[in-house]
Amino acid sequence: MGIIRTDQWLEKDFDRPIKICERLLPYFKGQKANEIYNQLQNFGMYRPSWKSRNNVSEMKEYNAWDRVEELFNIYIKKWSGPNIPIFLFPLNERGGLFIRRDERRKAGVSFPDKMFLFLSSYEDLKEVEALFVHEYHHVCRLRALNKDFKEYTLLDSLIIEGLAEYAVYKHCGKEYLANWCRMYTDREISYFWDRYIKKQLDISKNQKLHDELLYGGGRFPLLLGYAAGYNIIRKFYEKQNYSTKLSFTQPASKYLKENVDFSR
């Protein structure tokens, strides 16, 4: 599959995103176009505006579709990853409900069988690789675990996010880590873990509290689950050898059991 040429879709129907989402119906069985659009908006897909139209122009200028395809060809071989469709759209820079990274210049959402990247303007093209690595790691792990959506717990989500960003650290360098990796000190993470997360690790992904803890905000620290997940993985690999391929398959519980700081 690889890169789907959504630049052609945008050229024709930029002002009609629902029309664009009609082309996604084969990839979201049982959903309507407006439901798909609402879901993708939550993760950062554009709303028609002069700003997002400029983003499309800049994406074309730096050949975003070709560049991401090059990345895909590299990582599908390096990781023996699945051959999935990848969709690029401009970013809604006001943000969505569940934008995964704290930066507002790029975002993404992944499924076991497809991936979406929402891009904006930027100077360093390595940033696109960092986003790609994070999201494609999700795809590889979700595919390897092969669990039903309802089976995923908060612990699963913490580890999924932590592993994906640790892959960014290993393949792109620490300067490309998301800000939430350094948002809190170890002492703060330990305190938040004991106060908010430790007793909630088994709650399922379809429970409201799951997303409240993962994304934070409101009564919880911002991006709490992301920060905690990355710190669990970082501590784990201070003592263990890293293998990207093993990071797709190892159960989430293994990362916790061998991490003294977060299992007390």
Confidence at residue 241, expressed as pLDDT on a 0 to 100 scale: 95
The answer to whether the beta carbons of residues 115 and 135 sit under 8 Å apart is yes
The answer to whether the beta carbons of residues 189 and 231 sit under 8 Å apart is yes
User: CA–CA separation, 152 vs 218, rounded Å?
Assistant: 23
**Residue 217 reports pLDDT greater than 60:** yes
Query: What's the mean per-residue pLDDT of the chain?
Result: 92
Give the tens place of pLDDT for each residue, 20-77. 999 999 999 999 999 999 999 999 999 999 999 999 999 999 999 999 999 999 999 9
pLDDT, average across residues 117-138:
91
Question: What is the SS3 assignment for 169-187?
Answer: HHHHCHHHCCHHHCCCCHH
13: helix, strand or coil: helix
Confidence at residue 263, expressed as pLDDT on a 0 to 100 scale: 43
Quick count: other Cβ atoms within 10 Å of Cβ 51? 16
User: CA–CA separation, 168 vs 145, rounded Å?
Assistant: 20
Confidence at residue 261, expressed as pLDDT on a 0 to 100 scale: 55
Q: What is the pTM of this model?
A: 0.93
Residue type at 227? A
User: CA–CA separation, 242 vs 221, rounded Å?
Assistant: 29
